[in-house]
A and B are shown apart, each in its own frame.
Chain A
Amino acid sequence: MPLTLRVERGEVLTARQRTLRILGASAPGVAWLALFFAVPILLIVGVSFLSRGSYGTVEAPVTFESYRRLAGFGWLGFDALYPLILVRSLALGMGTALLCVLAGLPLAFFIASLSSRWKTTALTLVVIPFWTNLLIRTYAWQILLASDGWLARAAGAVGLIGPGEGLYPGIFAVYACMVCDYLPFLVLPLYASVEKLDWTIAEAAMDLGANRWNVFRHAILPQIRPGLVAGIILVFLPATGQFVIPDLLGGAKTALLGNAIQQQFGPNLDWPFGSSIAVVSLAVVMIGLWFMARQAGKKGEMELL
């Protein structure tokens, strides 16, 4: 039987040696993920099917009670509170992602059009907000948008808001801060795609009779799609679970997934119910991602306008 040898970085290895090496090299990472990612998730899924004991303990009877409650069937009859929280959180994530796309697309194209020296500067500027803690940034927005701040006064002077009112708390303040925080997650992968763009394909589309919109739709969008999808996922995921910003800038009037889960694990001591919220939100997000990945992976099809 011939012995299969492979040369790797100048070393001659048998297939067995090679496998051992790959396993050895990846073992720490695999072990880490297994211990701190896979096991906890399985625990959460498991706990979500158990019941809450009288003192907040997790007890034996296996039940779907948590999921029933989550769907809105509590002891007081039907209440859409939790489905609403889920929808609200997803809406926040999608809204943030959408605003980031609207702001990030022109920004990525603008940065890509700069000369190489200014490109580095611009990318650094995009990343700079990360150097500050999230809480500090959020409080900074509070100050910036407060009723005695210059932004609020300017808005009042133009007549956008009544006299003496602030721009915060409110939906505007939440989205302003969310977009500011998550824009870099979208711009960086998108920029990487825009940078590689083959403009002759856009010219070919123009030459074949495509107007501006069709050039973007058929020649540019397919090329930047991987970066755009990656960016949207990177914004959508954390934005959906975000609750600090809506709390601090939205006036803490509405519950979101993040608060709901924290509420159950913290003050309410209802771990099974908290787990079920976590599991459902995870499932919803994963279905969404699978759908997006499928969309992005579709090739060779062209819908008619």
Chain B
Amino acid sequence: MRGSSVVWILFVTRFIPKVLLRNCGLKKLIAKRDARDTKRAMSVEGSTHAVEVIDVTRQFNSCTALDQVSLTIAPREFLSLLGPSGCGKTTLLRIIAGLELADSGTVRLMGNDVTRVPAHRRPVNTVFQSYALFPHLTIRDNVAFGLRMKRIAGAELDRRVDAVMELTQITAFAARLPAQLSGGQRQRVALARALVNEPKVLLLDEPLGALDLKLRRQLQIELLALQRRLGITFIFVTHDQEEALAMSDRIAVMNAGHIEQLGDARELYELPRNRFVAQFLGTCNLLAGTVRGTREGSLLVETEWGELASGSRGGARSLAPGTRCTLAIRPEKVILREPEGPLRAGEREARVLHSVYNGSDTELSVDAGGLTLQVNCMNATASIASRQPGQRVIVLPPPAESVILLED
């Protein structure tokens, strides 16, 4: 009798609490659920897309930040979201990260619907514009944070943290605090802190925005090499067109809550779809005109510069004669020659207004009988580049392939 009660007391006081703690510990339960969700969201089966954004709309008070945006990103792709501030690019990134929820529409990661999944259970990581390092943690603890949240510890934690710190070259700062690092070093820490989690998609919100030009160029190259080596999908938000052109597989040019055009760098530069894209990426000579007809697959348009042929859409979009339209010609596609000999067909006399010497090239602004044109000449190949303001030049007629027809 007495013996059995001792056993009972032992059972009640020792065994039950232990079992309860072991199996019903709230923290463990939550961690288990998180791990399961993340695993589910990371399973690649049946998905050829890393990220799918379908008809996502997001409004702030009365202002529409994203208006029915759709975007599909392939695995291992480097995609840039490019646009002026306030165009919705950061909001789109935050919706993919789960830091912001879409009012309507769907977000899929690896084929799984994550529209309502909170940020901490999505298999993506973000490099923030302000880096957002934990100020009270050492660099090493900053990097280890994500793994600790996943309850990874011991040798595996050490191995993964060391590897990623080696990769991003921050091993030397391991024991320091974020406040003791320079901007470029902090940027590397932010990158390491995200990469250590081996995300399927890495989101970068203007990560190089706060750095000086030289460091920026260097980190661009490193970042791109890293992306190729790790095979992680990168979504890179920037307002710097050169950065986007230099790094991306594809670029989504955004404006006022939607994507104006999506394509690779060459496509966007050579065949901008509309006025916004044409002017946001590089500079353009814009000419308003009226359609006259078609000839040999090119569209004939009457403009200030006379009748121009545009071969940009290969006549695929044949506009009815009389339609108003806009043409764009890149400054480097405008050809000048010395004012010698008689004027040939289509040529116009012009006077140099301004000249800006850029080292490798010269930007000229010329006045061709009331028509102001921006011209870009390579100094090495075009002696005409050395023309000074007030001097005369002759503008050649633009060939059909360099005249772009814009949608408006």
Contact = CB atoms under 8 A, between A and B. Distances in A.
A206 B118 contact: yes
B149 A214 contact: yes
- With a 10 A CB-CB cut-off, give which of A205, A208, A219, A300 has the most chain B CB atoms: A208
Contact of B27 (A203, A204, A207, A305): A305
A15 B119 CA distance: 58
Interface in B111-140: 118-121, 124-126, 128, 130, 132-138
A198 B153 contact: no
Contacts of B153: 304
Contact of B136 (A203, A207, A214, A222): A222
Contact of A209 (B120, B133, B175): B120
Contacts of A208: 120, 125, 145-146, 149, 193-194, 197
A219 B119 contact: no
B149 A203 contact: no
Nearest to B31: A211
A200 B34 contact: no
B30 interface: yes
B295 interface: no
Interface in A174-223: 198, 200-201, 203-211, 214-215, 218-219, 222-223
Interface string A265-305: 00000000000000000000000000000000001101011
B134 A206 contact: no
B224 interface: no
A201 B120 contact: no
B400 to A, nearest CB: 50
Interface string A218-242: 1100110000000000000000000
Nearest to B121: A209
A205 B128 contact: no
B125 A200 contact: no
B21 interface: no
Contact of A299 (B27, B146, B148, B177): B177
Interface in B132-167: 132-138, 141, 145-146, 148-150, 153
A201 B34 contact: no
Given A207-B125, A208-B197, A209-B197, A201 B135 contact: yes
A114 B117 CA distance: 28
Nearest to B177: A300
Interface in B174-210: 175, 177, 193-194, 197
B99 interface: yes
Give the size category of B's interface with A: 35 or more
B130 A211 contact: no
Contacts of A206: 98-99, 118-120
Contacts of B150: 209
A209 B136 contact: no
A305 B119 CA distance: 21
Contact of B120 (A211, A222, A299, A304): A211
Interface in A79-118: none
B309 interface: no
A119 B119 CA distance: 30
Contact of B132 (A201, A210, A211, A218): A201
Interface residues of A, number: 23
B97 interface: yes
A209 B150 CA distance: 7
B134 A205 contact: yes
Instruction: Classify the secondary structure of A's interface with B.
Output: helix
A209 B135 CA distance: 18
A201 B148 CA distance: 16
Interface string B358-390: 000000000000000000000000000000000
Contacts of B97: 207
Interface string B50-92: 0000000000000000000000000000000000000000000
A203 B132 contact: yes
A218 B120 contact: no
Contacts of B132: 198, 200-201, 203-204
Contacts of A302: 137, 141, 148
**Of A218, A299, A300, A305, most B-chain CB atoms within 10 Å:** A300
Contact of A219 (B34, B128, B134, B146): B134
A211 B119 contact: no
Contacts of B175: 300
B148 A207 contact: no
Nearest to A302: B141
B187 to A, nearest CB: 14
Contacts of B145: 205, 208, 210, 218
A300 B141 contact: yes
A198 B136 CA distance: 13
A203 B177 contact: no
Contacts of A222: 134-136
A300 B138 contact: yes
21 contacts: A198-B132, A200-B128, A200-B132, A201-B133, A201-B134, A203-B128, A205-B145, A205-B149, A206-B98, A206-B119, A207-B97, A207-B98, A207-B120, A209-B150, A210-B145, A210-B149, A215-B120, A218-B145, A300-B136, A300-B138, A302-B148
Given A204-B128, A214-B149, A215-B120, 15 more contacts: A203-B119, A206-B98, A206-B120, A207-B125, A207-B126, A208-B120, A208-B125, A208-B145, A208-B193, A209-B146, A210-B120, A222-B135, A222-B136, A300-B136, A300-B138
Closest 9 CB pairs of A and B: A208-B146, A209-B149, A204-B132, A200-B132, A222-B136, A206-B119, A300-B138, A207-B126, A209-B120
